[in-house]
Amino acid sequence: KVALRKYIYSQILVKAVEHGDRAAVEAALERGASPEQRDADGNTLEDLASFYNQQEMLFERRMQRMAHQPLSTFFTADDLMENCSAADPDVLLPFRATPGATPRGREDGLPEDD
């Protein structure tokens, strides 16, 4: 029963990607559709999204699941403030609260290699 439900939602997911229906994509994924689903021709969801010019729909979802380093890892607060005139002020607030912060990692501002 569970496997059948996942299969059905995965098929719905394929059609939602083909039609660019972001709400249906989210609903299918939340209900257990596999993000690794392929269509009948073997195309991945990324292939379909690219073909139908809907790449950002899946990219955004994938990026939400990934852990990200804070910008202060790569840039000083001054660098961020200097280059972000179009950014929302609420996004910049943490950087304004820590003037003179320096990037963590190597001396050149890049994170250390593992």
Taking the C-alpha atoms of residue 35 and residue 57, their distance in angstroms, rounded to an integer, is: 12
Q: What is the pTM of this model?
A: 0.51
pLDDT of residue 62: 65
Residue matched to tokens 């003179």: 100
Residue 48: Cβ within 10 Å count:
22
Q: Which long-range contacts (CB under 8 A, 24 or more apart) does 36-42 make?
A: 37/10, 37/11, 37/13, 38/14, 39/14
pLDDT in tens, the chain (114 residues): 888 888 899 999 999 999 989 889 888 888 888 888 899 999 988 889 888 888 777 766 665 665 656 666 777 777 776 777 777 777 766 656 544 444 454 454 445 554
Identify the pLDDT of residue 12.
Answer: 93
Asked whether the beta carbons of 71 and 80 are under 8 A apart, the reply is yes
